[in-house]
């Protein structure tokens, strides 16, 4: 069984490359060459928007390039190939977010959690959990936690049970919560942006978090101030399209990276 997963991934990759190759010859401007002027690293990027069945799909993957004894060395990483797709249709809806992995309230399916989100007739899955949503309540559950959110009199009233304890709260744009985490949160969102900030007590200490994402036709911004892998850090990414050129800036703690990506095919 353990040997089947790499084979499945390889088959998916071959099919994906085949689809992209066909569409590349037909449409062009799918393959981009990227260079970072700070550390003189190079990469190839594949970007493509395509449709199949009832899905509209965006695809984006980076392949790092290096030199070894004068030859170009390609180092692809396809362990999580599905993360390179973003499905953007209703009634099917699948999105992928780079925002932080934990906020202590939901207005449905922690909008800043990193994971896949798919629904069909109000029911589907989110990351490793299952979800259901209608006009009155939502459920998000996996093997370790469950979150219930009820909509009453214009308020979101939520209950979350996790291995670390129970959190209860309520609000609309501004949220109060008590339990495992006790504090105040503000969440504003629509179809193109999410911004939130939290201040709360947890395990006897005061913590804060902040997150912002914006998506427009030629601009995408993701910024968080949170704890990642046990370290408090600021992480961000800005993607700006100018004509056919993509300018991508990344911030991870003290590391700053800027890439220029231009079409070569």
Confidence of residue 36 (pLDDT cuts 50, 70, 90): confident
Predicted local confidence at residue 102, as pLDDT: 66
pLDDT digits (tens, 9 = 90+) for 150-167: 888 889 999 888 888 899
**Highest mean pLDDT: which range of 42-51, 55-64, 233-242:** 233-242
Query: What separation, in Å, do the N-terminal and C-terminal C-alpha atoms of the chain show?
Result: 39
**Highest mean pLDDT: which range of 33-42, 82-91, 103-112, 196-205:** 196-205
Predicted local confidence at residue 25, as pLDDT: 47
Residues 6+ apart with CB under 8 A from 151: 135, 136, 137, 157
Predicted local confidence at residue 37, as pLDDT: 78
* Percentage above 90 pLDDT, the chain: 11
Predicted local confidence at residue 137, as pLDDT: 87
Predicted local confidence at residue 8, as pLDDT: 47
More confident residue, 53 or 218: 218
Confidence of residue 62 (pLDDT cuts 50, 70, 90): confident
pLDDT digits (tens, 9 = 90+) for 139-198: 888 888 888 898 888 899 998 888 888 999 999 999 999 998 899 999 888 878 888 898
Which contacts of 39-46 are long-range, i.e. CB under 8 A and separated by 24 or more positions?
39/257, 41/65, 41/66, 42/66, 43/259, 44/74, 45/246, 45/261, 46/20
Predicted local confidence at residue 71, as pLDDT: 66
Does this model's pTM top 0.75? My answer is no
Q: Does the structure show a pLDDT above 90 at 55?
A: no
DSSP letters, 225-260, are: EEEETTEEEEEEEEEEEETTEEEEEEEETTEEEEEE
Q: Give CA 220 to chain center in angstroms.
A: 12
Predicted local confidence at residue 26, as pLDDT: 45
Q: Does the structure show a pLDDT above 70 at 3?
A: no
C-alpha span between 158 and 141 (Å, rounded): 13
């Amino acid at each position: 069984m353990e040997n089947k997963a790499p084979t499945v991934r390889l088959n998916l990759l071959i099919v994906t490359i085949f689809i992209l190759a066909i569409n590349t010859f037909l449409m062009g401007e799918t393959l981009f060459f990227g260079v970072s002027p700070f550390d003189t690293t190079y990469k190839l990027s594949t970007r493509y928007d395509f449709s199949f069945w009832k899905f509209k799909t965006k695809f984006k993957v980076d392949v790092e390039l290096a030199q070894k004894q004068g030859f170009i060395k390609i180092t692809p990483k396809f362990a999580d190939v599905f993360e390179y797709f973003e499905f953007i249709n209703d009634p099917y809806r699948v999105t992928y977010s780079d925002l932080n992995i934990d906020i202590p309230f939901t207005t449905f399916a922690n909008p800043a959690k990193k994971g896949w989100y798919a629904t069909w007739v109000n029911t589907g899955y989110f990351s490793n959990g299952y979800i259901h949503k209608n006009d009155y309540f939502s459920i998000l559950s996996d093997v370790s936690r469950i979150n219930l959110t009820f909509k009453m009199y214009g308020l979101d009233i939520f209950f979350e049970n996790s291995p670390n304890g129970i959190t209860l709260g309520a609000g609309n744009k501004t949220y109060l919560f008590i339990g495992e985490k006790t504090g105040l949160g503000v969440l504003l969102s629509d179809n193109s942006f999410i911004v939130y900030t939290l201040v709360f007590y947890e395990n006897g200490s005061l913590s804060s978090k902040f997150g912002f994402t914006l998506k427009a036709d030629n601009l995408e911004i993701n910024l968080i101030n949170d704890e990642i892998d046990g370290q408090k850090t600021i992480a961000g990414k800005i993607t700006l399209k100018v004509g056919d050129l993509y300018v991508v800036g990344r911030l991870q703690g003290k590391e700053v990276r800027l890439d220029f990506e231009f079409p070569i095919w």
